[in-house]
Amino acid sequence: MRLSDDPCAQCEEVLQPFLDRELTVDEQAAAERHLDACDYCRRRYRFEVQLRRFVRQSALEPMAPELKQRLAALRTPL
Ligand SMILES: [Zn+2]
């Protein structure tokens, strides 16, 4: 993966802790502002939220091949 092709390589780093609620209040606010302004990250964020919901739902089942594919796709967006 070529990072230069990623329009938001930096906010990518913020997205995971944001989803995990590991940010300070200030960092959280900054992340929310960015999500408001950035279409790309908003789409990624929605996808991540859905993915996590999906993962929680299927936590008691063995990992499905489709889920593995989704996770792999997540690592190489676009
Ligand atoms: Zn962004």
How many Å lie between the centroid of ligand 1 and the Cα of residue 41? 4
Residue 3: pLDDT above 50? no
CA of 60 to the centre of ligand 1 (A): 33
- pLDDT, residue 1, reads 43
Q: For 24-58, how does the pLDDT look when each residue is reduced to its tens digit (9 = 90+)?
A: 999 889 889 888 988 888 998 999 889 888 888 77
Q: Angle at which helices 39-57 and 25-37 pack, to 10 degrees? A: 120
Q: Please, what's the largest Cα pairwise distance for the chain?
A: 38
Query: How many angstroms does the Cα of residue 20 sit away from the middle of ligand 1?
Result: 17
Per-residue confidence (pLDDT) for residue 46, from 0 to 100: 92
pLDDT of the residue at 63: 66
Residue spans of the domains in the chain: they are 7-75
Yes or no: say if 48 and 15 are a contact pair by the CB < 8 Å rule: yes
Distance 4 CA to ligand 1 centre (A): 14
